[in-house]
Amino acid sequence: MKLKNRILNLLVLLLLSSCTEVLFVEPQPRNIENEETFPIELQGIYINKNNDTLIIENKMYSYRDYKNGELSESIILRESDGYYFLNEQKGVFWRLFLAKFDKKSIYIYAINGGDNEKIKMLKKITEVKEIVSINDSTNIESYIVNPSSIELKNMLESSLFSQREYFLKIKKGRIK
């Protein structure tokens, strides 16, 4: 059973790495200070419908068996308008995940770069640059955006960010 789960996790990783991403030129939102730690209300153990575990500690998080991170210069957390913005550096650009939290659960959102309708909407809001594959110039590897604060707000209001995960909190507070 564990081997089957590891193979499934590897397949998910391969799928995620082959998907077209929307990347940001700088951490979002602009002009908001970085959080030095995950707020205590976010800290705890969460589980999703597939029994995958998300653990959020003071400065660290882990997801499944393979995704770990620590708040640093390359992983930045910011809070604005009821959302937590987790910015993960990828080369010179940034991946952006949004988290919406209530007392019992956390919802994770991101822009699906493979959704042509979402990309059309994105292009109406902000300038979008396409990065194509070295091996196949018809294959777009990523979209690069650098939205202003107003454009980011419009992106949020336009439902460009799709729910990727839902987690139910099973243990509150600091993990010991």
The predicted-structure confidence for 21-57, as pLDDT tens digits, reads as follows 999 999 999 999 999 999 999 999 999 999 999 999 9
108 HSE (CA, 13 A, CB side): 16
Which pLDDT score is estimated for 17?
43
In a domain, 170, yes or no: no
Helix (H, G, I), strand (E, B) or coil at 115: coil
Q: Tell me if 117 is assigned to some domain.
A: yes
Q: What is the pLDDT of residues 69-103, one digit of tens each?
A: 999 999 999 999 899 999 999 999 999 999 999 88
Which residues, listed in sequence order, are joined to residue 112 by a DSSP beta bridge?
none
Asked whether residue 142 is domain-assigned, the answer is: yes
pLDDT tens track for 6-17:
544 444 444 444
Mean pLDDT of 108-125: 94
For residue 27, is it within any domain?
Answer: yes
Output 19 or 162, whichever has higher pLDDT.
Answer: 162
User: Are the CB atoms for 75 and 59 separated by under 8 Å?
Assistant: no
Specify whether the backbone of 31 is left (phi greater than 0), alpha (psi in -120 to 50) or beta. Answer: left
d(CA 34, CA 78): 5
pLDDT number for residue 94 = 97
Q: What is the pTM of this model?
A: 0.83
Q: By C-alpha distance, which of 54, 58, 37, 36 is closest to 45? A: 54
Q: Is residue 87 part of a domain?
A: yes
Whether 115 is in a domain gets the answer yes
Q: Which domain holds residue 142?
A: 20-39+62-164
Strands (E), the chain: 21-24, 44-47, 53-56, 60-63, 67-70, 75-80, 83-90, 93-102, 105-111, 128-132, 140-145, 161-172
Above 80 in pLDDT, residue 140? yes
Average pLDDT value for the chain: 87
Under the banding of pLDDT at 50, 70 and 90, the label for residue 2 is: low
How many separate domains does the chain show?
1
